[in-house]
Structure 1
Amino acid sequence: MTAANVKEQLQKQYPYKIEMHAHTSPCSPCGTVTPDELVNIYLKLGYDAVVITNHFSYGYGVFENSSVSKDEKLAMYMNDYENACRAAEKKNIKILLGAELRFSENFNDYLLYGADYETLHIAYDYLEEGLASYYKNGKPQNSLLLQAHPFRSGMTQVNPELLDGIETFNMHPGQNSAIGFAVKYASEKAFAVTTAGTDFHDYSGHHQGLSALRTSVIPQDSFELADILRRGDYLFEIGGEAIVLP
């Protein structure tokens, strides 16, 4: 059996493509693509689902204005996700809710899968308390928290016991996420969950669809996605071509 045959078999076994790390505007100030635009971009690329992981950061973006109430901030945060869901209605693509958390203690980012309004309502109260407090006391058992791009410049290595896994393949073309180091670290620490994501921010002609999680089913919500990750029932697709075993 040739490598091409193996690749074809794996693609048939895991036919569905999910973008695991994507940002939209205006929720993520660093993003330039609206929810409607994101849906159309990934639909044309042949993706079956996109996880919107907008920045959920202490003092940043929709959480920057101290004069706005918690509920108002969360409503603003959810607005992009809800708009994307509306844009995806009657189209062959699923929008899932995630978040990219950052606590006040450092510049680390953490991807949350298994998210809904209540999950984020709780997470908000831990942004000033830090990772350890959130992981031990605030994170639901059916959610997963992974350190995003852990070897990018400015990141701090944390106690692996405070993580469910890490993002090994962060494919942002404007950042050096030291993918090789991340893959090696995941193996050394025996993380049960690793992910690959484009870290999509803008439609510049080369910053979309750079990676995918390939699955055997399409998760119907963020918690079903977390369950797929927990079971390890997935593959990575990198650059639209290479199939990678996590």
Structure 2
Amino acid sequence: MYRYDLHVHTKEVSPCGKLTVEETVDLYKAKGYDGFWLTNHFHREFFERTKGLTWEQRVEAFFLPWREGKKYAGEDFFIGQGMELRFLTDPNDYLLFGITEELLLAEGEEWLSMNLERFFEKYRERLLIIQAHPNRQGSSRPADPRFLHGMEAHNSNPRHDNGNTATCSLICAHPWLIPTAGSDSHRREDAGITGILTRERLTCDEELIGVLEDRRYEILMSSADAF
């Protein structure tokens, strides 16, 4: 079985991150993972942090840790490029899988000013849209399931009450929702706690999306257990 984390941040883009992409790769390799998806924050703070840059330079900055991480990791460890998106008028966070540099460059400048319904209608066939930690106390609330492909059923960040049990109950009530899991890694102690197990090695975003849509995976409740 192959092990992947679907919710990982690094300090190059996410201001709350404490680890470089190289440090993150080393930690995940040491814990027996075969890869992870970078889901750095794309929200108001990213725009404030990159004030003065052109849109092209902002896109370059967002993808930089992914490019550097791929070079550092080598061929036997996969790094995918995702995103944790937060709209300006919505406190929730949404994990996106399937994004490309070309798509972000051409269309991403307007994403923060959209809302979930508009975003889902426009990108439902091009991206996989997963609500991150839907029941995290004090910061998130479950979004309308009609405008999601799935929800993060298990978020293991240790500094939050993530409400995973409530999210699992919600997914059971809406069985078309894809359940995912991620460590929401920002610091050394967060890395490699949860994720997914697959029977096949993943080498691109399309393979991840196919595995999730077809339910050909198991969720890691911790780095030692799965269901």
Query: Normalised by the shorter chain, which TM-score bucket?
Result: over 0.9
Match for residue 101 of structure 1 among 76, 81, 85? 85
Determine whether 1:32 maps to 2:22: no
Distance in structure 2 (CA, Å) of the matches to 1:218 and 1:186? 26
Determine whether 1:231 maps to 2:214: yes
List gaps (5 residues or longer) in structure 2: none
Listed as ranges, the matches of 1:18-29 within 5 Å are 18-29=4-15
Query: Which structure has the larger Rg?
Result: 1
Q: Which amino acid aligns with 1:162?
A: F
Query: Tell me, what secondary structure is at the counterpart of 1:242?
Result: coil
Q: Please tell me whether the aligned partners of residues 52 and 97 of structure 1 are also in contact (alpha carbons under 8 angstroms).
A: yes
Q: Please tell me whether the aligned partners of residues 146 and 164 of structure 1 are also in contact (alpha carbons under 8 angstroms).
A: yes
The equivalent of 2:52 in structure 1 is: 67
The equivalent of 1:194 in structure 2 is: 179
1:41 positional shift:
0.8
List gaps (5 residues or longer) in structure 1: 1-14
Distance in structure 2 (CA, Å) of the matches to 1:112 and 1:64? 21
Distance in structure 2 (CA, Å) of the matches to 1:192 and 1:223? 18
Q: Please tell me whether the aligned partners of residues 99 and 111 of structure 1 are also in contact (alpha carbons under 8 angstroms).
A: yes
Distance in structure 2 (CA, Å) of the matches to 1:42 and 1:60? 27
The equivalent of 1:7 in structure 2 is: none
Q: Which amino acid aligns with 1:21?
A: H
1:155 positional shift:
1.3
TM-score for both structures, normalised by structure 1: 0.87
Deviation track 1:8-39 (CA, whole Å, cap 9, x = no partner) reads xxxxxxx0000110000121000011011111
Match for residue 174 of structure 1 among 146, 159, 162? 159
Distance in structure 1 (CA, Å) of the matches to 2:186 and 2:176? 27
Determine whether 1:215 maps to 2:201: no
The equivalent of 2:70 in structure 1 is: 85
Match for residue 114 of structure 2 among 119, 129, 136? 129
Distance in structure 2 (CA, Å) of the matches to 1:28 and 1:100? 10
Q: Which amino acid aligns with 1:134?
A: F
The equivalent of 1:119 in structure 2 is: 103
1:106 positional shift:
1.6
Q: Indicate the larger mover: 210-219 or 153-162.
A: 153-162
Distance in structure 1 (CA, Å) of the matches to 2:157 and 2:47? 23
Q: Please tell me whether the aligned partners of residues 142 and 223 of structure 1 are also in contact (alpha carbons under 8 angstroms).
A: no
Q: Which amino acid aligns with 2:30?
A: K
The equivalent of 1:243 in structure 2 is: 226
Q: Which amino acid aligns with 1:193?
A: I
Q: Which amino acid aligns with 1:17?
A: R
| Shift in CA distance, 236/157, structure 1 to aligned 2, threshold 3 Å | closer
Query: Tell me, what secondary structure is at the counterpart of 1:106?
Result: coil
Query: C-alpha root-mean-square deviation of aligned residues, in Å?
Result: 1.5
| Shift in CA distance, 43/62, structure 1 to aligned 2, threshold 3 Å | farther
Q: Which amino acid aligns with 1:99?
A: M
Aligned-residue identity in percent: 26
Distance in structure 2 (CA, Å) of the matches to 1:132 and 1:214? 31
The equivalent of 2:41 in structure 1 is: 55
TM-score for both structures, normalised by structure 2: 0.94
Query: Tell me, what secondary structure is at the counterpart of 1:105?
Result: coil
| Shift in CA distance, 234/63, structure 1 to aligned 2, threshold 3 Å | farther
Q: Please tell me whether the aligned partners of residues 62 and 77 of structure 1 are also in contact (alpha carbons under 8 angstroms).
A: no
1:140 positional shift:
5.4
Instruction: Count how many residue pairs are aligned between Structure 1 and Structure 2.
Output: 225
Q: Which amino acid aligns with 1:105?
A: T
Distance in structure 2 (CA, Å) of the matches to 1:123 and 1:64? 17
Query: Tell me, what secondary structure is at the counterpart of 2:179?
Result: strand
1:238 positional shift:
1.9
| Shift in CA distance, 230/199, structure 1 to aligned 2, threshold 3 Å | same
Distance in structure 1 (CA, Å) of the matches to 2:55 and 2:141? 28
Q: Please tell me whether the aligned partners of residues 115 and 223 of structure 1 are also in contact (alpha carbons under 8 angstroms).
A: no
Listed as ranges, the matches of 1:142-153 within 5 Å are 142-152=126-136, 153=138
